[in-house]
Amino acid sequence: MGAPYVSSRRLVDNAMSAMLSAIEVYNKPRMTYREEITVIAIVNAWELALKATLRRAGQSIFYRKQRNQRYRSIALDDALGRVDAGKLWPKKTDGGAILANVKALAEYRDRAIHLYNAPSLGSVIYPFLQQNVLNFRDFMVAKFNKDLADSITWQLLPLGASAPGDAVQFMRVDKSAAAVAEVQDFLDELRRLMDAAEAAGSDTARVATVYDINLQSVKKLTSADLAVAVSSTATGQIVWKKMDPNQTHPYSTSDLLARVNKRRKGRKLTSYDYAAICWKEGLRDNQKYAWRHSNGSSYVWSGDAHLSSYDDKYYDSVKAEYTKSRTVTRGQTLRRHGVYDPSADAPS
């Protein structure tokens, strides 16, 4: 007997339902076990969405059947690995960063299911939850044309109305050595995941980011931002550092191109490729990636802005479109100044 039939449409619907349930639970004004239930539902949403992606790609979502046992569907880690290996991430998302984000939440979920987490870890997991919802929305729109915004108001997509933001957040943990060790161990795992994402060239803004209520990225976090002071005689302290553009957007245009060319496969991108893709995708208008001082003329960048995810064919088509647009614009400008009159070439 073959593996049971699984509907990708049902997987997608259930994934959306799980994410919506997570958001609803987190935004309840009074809720105990809030972070644990939210993370469990979010991780479940991703597992279903990833399995739907594999099904759409014609891949199995079951392990090889063992004798005298039922078919077992693949676990989250295997689903992530198969989507990553099959390069099934949507073009405009950073698969490596999303993978790190989901794994961070899965680590929290595993601790909650099999034992328990220190209550103070909710402060640490918050930026991962914030970014995860936005990652999920982008993923589902790109892969299945399903938008969370069709079911809830956009203002609810950030998890909660007030982010930890610029204030120092204190984690009040049990002063026992066991509790301190648990907090430290969890933070070490988060740092490992973020370091791995950074080393692979992924955009850490896709891993953990705190957003304001207008969904403008106010800062992105790196593993270095997870600063903690814990001891058996003091409360642990998490500091979310307030970042300035020199830190959040450290790359010049030339640095950006060098970073992108190092990551992507294909021909070496030029400054003209950069100009064309910025025009096409509106990247300079996205403060998550680009920043310019009000009195300045050049932009600085936070990461690769997904430039490495586009293939040569797309760049060539965008360049052709950009060149045509510039030619038309230049012709219109010349005509306005009386420099060029195409009617002179028209037949009499």
The confidence score (pLDDT) of residue 159 equals 46
CA-nearest of 113, 21, 114, 4 to 55 is 4
What's the confidence (pLDDT) of residue 22?
93
CA 103 to chain centre: 12
Inter-helix orientation angle 271-281/312-336, to 10°: 80
State CA 98 to chain mean position distance: 5
Q: How far apart are CA 332 and CA 317, in angstroms?
A: 23
- Specify whether 130 is located in the same domain as 259: no
Flag whether 34 is in a domain. Answer: yes
Report d(CA 298, CA 295) in Å as an integer. 10
Say if residue 161 is in the same domain as residue 139.
yes
pLDDT of residue 3: 77
User: DSSP string of 305-324?
Assistant: TTGGGS-HHHHHHHHHHHHH
pTM over 0.85: no
Percent pLDDT > 90 in the chain is 28
How far is 275 from 252, CA to CA, in rounded Å? 14
Q: Name the 3-class secondary structure at 43.
A: helix
Residue 118 pLDDT grade (very low, low, confident, very high; cuts 50, 70, 90)? low
* Domain co-membership, 39 together with 140: yes
Domain boundary among 243, 261, 276: 243
Residue for token digits 């959040």? 248
Cα dihedral 191/196/201/203 (nearest 10): -40
Span 245-257, pLDDT tens digits: 776 788 888 888 8
Distance CA 65, CA 80 (A): 20
How many folded domains does the chain comprise?
Answer: 2
Q: Which domain holds residue 64?
A: 8-243
Regarding whether 160 and 76 lie in a shared domain, the answer is: yes
How far is Cα 306 from Cα 160, in angstroms, rounded to an integer?
28
For residue 238, the model assigns a pLDDT of 42
Reported as a single tens digit per residue, the pLDDT across 286-316 is 877 888 877 777 888 887 667 877 889 999 9
176 lies in the same domain as 220:
yes
Residue 82 has pLDDT above 90, yes or no: yes
Q: Which of 191, 20, 219, 183 is nearest to 100 (CA)?
A: 191
Q: Which two tokens stand for residue 41?
A: 């539902």
Residue 195 confidence (pLDDT): 76
Examine the pLDDT at 88 and tell me if it is beyond 50: yes
Q: Pull the structure tokens for residue 201.
A: 């060239």
pLDDT band at 265 (very low <50, low <70, confident <90, very high): confident
Q: Which residues contact 274 (CB under 8 A, 6 or more apart)?
A: 253, 256, 257, 307
For 163-200, what is each residue's pLDDT tens digit? Answer: 443 322 333 334 444 555 666 677 777 777 777 777 77
Assess whether 166 and 179 both reside in one domain.
Answer: yes
- Determine contact, residues 301/249, Cβ cutoff 8 Å: yes
Given 243, 266, 287, the domain boundary residue is 243
The answer as to whether 3 is a domain residue is: no
Q: Are residues 92 and 207 in the same domain?
A: yes
202-233, pLDDT tens digit by residue?
776 677 765 544 444 555 656 555 544 444 44
* pLDDT given for residue 111 in this prediction: 85
Tokens encoding 334: 């010349």
Strands 234-239 and 290-291: unpaired
Domain final position from 243, 276, 294: 243
Position 269 pLDDT exceeds 70:
yes
Q: Are residues 141 and 76 in the same domain?
A: yes
Is residue 164 located within the same domain as residue 302? no
Is residue 188 a contact partner of residue 59, using CB atoms and an 8 Å limit? no
Token couple for 254: 């030339």
Same domain membership, residue 270 and residue 138 = no
Torsion angle of alpha carbons 131, 149, 307, 291, nearest 10°?
Answer: -70
Alpha-carbon dihedral sign for residues 286, 291, 296, 297: negative
CB 135 within 8 A of CB 95: no
Residue 87 corresponds to which tokens in the numbers above? Answer: 């390069």
> How is residue 38 written in tokens?
């939210």
Give me the pLDDT at residue 308, please. 79
DSSP string, 181-225: HHHHHHHHHHHHHHHHHHHTT--GGGTSEEE-TT--EEEE--GGG
Evaluate whether residue 1 is within a structural domain: no
